[in-house]
Structure 1
Amino acid sequence: MRMSRRCIGLDVHRDFAQVAIWRNGVVTQEGRFATTPEEVRRFADGLAATDEVALEATGNTWAIASLLTSRAGRVVVSNPAKTRAIAEAKIKTDKVDAAILAELLAADYLPAVWMPDAQTAALRRQVQRRGHIVRQRTRLKNQVQAILHRNLVVRCPAADLFGIKGRAWLAGQDLPPDEAAAATALLRQLDFHADELALIDRELALVALGRDDVRRLMTIPGVDATVALSIVAAVGDFTRFRTPEKLVSYLGLNPRVRQSGNQPATHGRITKSGPGYARGMLVEAAFSASKAPGPLRGFYERIRARRGIQVAIVATARKLAVLCWHLTIKGEDYAFAMPSLVAHKQRKLQLRAGLPSARGRKGASAAYSLKEVRAAERQLAERSEQAYRTMITNWRPKPATPKTPTARSGRGRQHRDTALTPSG
């Protein structure tokens, strides 16, 4: 006898999950089970290959979904920000939320979240842990600076307050005993986090050395191993985005658009949806890329002249996201990369991973220390930047035809977006 289709909605909490089952258009409540490994496996044992399960993304969702995937025919993790039927419900209980999830799943109207594989999920956790350590170090440094500020201490003459010279200067300042003790305690915590950061950087460097996509993204100016790993961890499988614009939207770098009826569309600030740590890394990389010679700097300066620095930086970050998609999908390196700089990045990555140094022996990155080599590569990059400026200056959109009034602007945007890709 053929089994009927069941759509199961789970309203997951820290300690339990509420269960609602849709079958033949009728939703029934089936109680709850504890969110422990044993109870989740027991619940999974009662599932059939024809069952479909839906649950919202939360802290313990991925562990539950991985246990259910082996038994259920389909497991859908819903994006809570897009499940508006639950968020806007006037009567909101665990039973109602589970029932709505089951009904939306049955209607195939549930906005799903891509489930990363185990390797990508582990990389995401490592990248996020590194980001947490960096934020903690920044907080500690700001507290030390606040101590000096409220005690009217002049700025440190050393370049780095937390380096050897800076700490020696700090130790000689006349601070109240309690403030001096607080500064010493903050420096101890800072040293602890520095050791932790070195450990996680070494782990991530070992991961980066084994991934071709990370090394390929490092050929882009401004993108080092940390930025490349953050992008790869956030995106996972680049092929799930059919166009680079889809990736830009996923990273939250596209502007908000409002349009209704015959009114023209209005554009606002970027949406800032998706993984914020990857978006922040792209913005930092855009700052670095805007200072290096090449088409990216030409693009940045063109936007800055019209819209200002902040808009130009965000636009450059969006351009970097487009470049990352093209390079990864096509399996190519950045066409305007500086070979000695790329080799220098890779050698730094190897040393960070703990590979033995080769002092006294010339390696692939030795050319980076030769001024004539760097000057020649910089000259080539400046030529490519000038070629980009000339192309943009001479570019003229084709006149629109009566049948396709918007074709001109569409072709123009596509031309500009692909100007910095390997094929451009």
Structure 2
Amino acid sequence: MGNIAVGIDIAKLKFDVAVWVERKKYKTKVFPNTPAGFTQLLKWLSCYGNCHICLEATGSYSITLATFLADNGITISVENPSRIHAFGQSELSRNKTDQGDAKMIARYCALHTPALWSPEPLSERQLTALVRHLSSLEEMKRMQENRQLVADEVIQSSLTAIIAYLKQQIKETKQKIKTHIDNDHNLKKNKQLLESIPGIGEIVSSSLLAYVGDMSKFSSSKEVVAYAGLNPKLCESGLFKGRSRISKTGHSALRKALYMPALAAISCNAIVKAQWERLVSRHKGGKIGICAAMRKLLQLAYGVLKSGMPFDEKIALAS
């Protein structure tokens, strides 16, 4: 007898669970999205035997719960929301409720048997948490600096103090990231490999290590590009001939982290610069050229991490 399919629809404060016990029959329950709720879920599922749980990849909410379940020996899949959405459309689902979504995810799990998921090593999880925290701090600092430009004089001193505090937190978090990487042999080695590529500095190398992780899970550079949502997507039908755009069905934070380094690489990286000049000669600079530069940087990063060899311009030009 196979595993029982379980679907989870997760939100900020709670998550809905549906166990597909037999055709058109479910057992459902709602749990708080807290460590106590995770433990309650384990206890509740224990009476159903072996379960295969499926939930959508929705950032920190899904990963926290998925990691807890995987650490407790539960078979789990974390699926792209677009796939589950397409499955729901194929069923002509008319109503949308949290419980209904949990049931749909359970059916998807049973009928499609999605690939199993396992958490990243602890060192990579901690690095990801630090990098995301740094990004949040920098965003908060930008918001306060923008407020300060138009704020009344009466609150200027308060905003100045907040910005100074955020700058200190940013400085400390950057140091924590550096220390964390330096204390891990693999992370430190991979960081050095990434920074051998012109255009990739300390910040983006940390982001790549946090958001991409172990490159061995990808079989080709195309898979890494698709993971970032930088793969071309052609839209055309019948007589309509559309233009290619990036799919954006992927890791948005990774795309954001690559944007500024790609601009720098256009002038300092011979491989990226040559590609940019070819595109400009065909009147495809601008956004198209920048996206292509982001894609090329990611492919070069994949190459050095996969081979374990520092960047070599001659090898890159020959490939």
**Superposition TM-score, scaled by structure 1 size:** 0.65
Equivalent pairs: percent with the same residue? Answer: 22
Measured after TM superposition, the shift of residue 119 of structure 1 is 2.8
In the aligned structure 2, how far is the partner of 1:257 from the partner of 1:113?
A: 30
Once the two structures are overlaid, the 10-residue window that deviates more, 77-86 or 200-209, is 77-86
Q: Could you tell which deviates more after superposition, 248-257 or 72-81?
A: 72-81
- Within a 5 Å distance, the mapping from 1:15-414 to structure 2 comes to 15-45=13-43, 46-47=45-46, 50-58=50-58, 59-71=60-72, 73-84=74-85, 85-86=87-88, 89-108=93-112, 110=114, 115-146=119-150, 178-179=152-153, 181-209=154-182, 210=184, 211=187, 212-259=189-236, 266-292=242-268, 294-306=270-282, 307-336=284-313
Going from structure 1 to structure 2, the CA distance change for 1:104 and 1:288 (only over 3 Å counts) comes to: same
Choose which of 6, 9, 16 in structure 2 pairs with 1:8.
Answer: 6
Compared with structure 1, are the counterparts of its residues 273 and 146 closer, same or farther at alpha carbon in structure 2 (3 Å cutoff)? farther
Residues 243-290 of structure 1, C-alpha deviation per residue, up to 9 Å, x if partnerless?
1111111112122212557x7974332222322222122121111112
Q: Which amino acid aligns with 1:420?
A: A
CA distance in 1 between counterparts of 2:104 and 2:287 reads 42
Q: Is the 8 A contact 1:130 1:197 kept in 2?
A: yes
- Which whole-Å CA distance do the structure 2 matches of 1:89 and 1:61 have between them? 23
Q: Following the alignment from structure 2 to structure 1, what is the Cα–Cα distance between the partners of residues 147 and 3?
A: 58
Question: Which moved further from structure 2: 29-38 or 209-218?
Answer: 29-38
Name the CA shift for 1:277/1:204 in 2 (closer, same or farther; >3 Å): same
Task: Answer yes or no: is the 8 Å Cα contact 1:231–1:278 preserved in 2.
Answer: yes
SS in 1 for 2:137: helix
In the TM superposition, residue 80 of structure 1 has moved relative to its aligned partner by 2.4
Are the aligned partners of 2:20 and 2:27 in contact in 1 as well (CA < 8 Å)?
no
Higher relative helix content: 2
- Relative contact order: is structure 1 or structure 2 higher (C-alpha 8 Å, sep ≥ 6)? 2
Paired positions, count:
308
Deviation at 1:52, TM superposition (A): 0.9
Within 1, Cα distance between the matches of 2:248 and 2:71? Answer: 34
Gaps (5+ residues) in structure 2? none
Larger radius of gyration: 1
What's the CA shift for 1:293? 5.7
Q: Deviations over 1:17-50 (max 9, x none)?
A: 3332224545322433444433432432443773
Aligned residues: CA RMSD: 2.9
- How far did residue 309 of structure 1 move? 3.5
Structure 1, unpaired ranges of 5+: 148-177, 337-383, 385-418
| Whole-angstrom CA distance in 2 between matches of 1:201 and 1:222 | 19
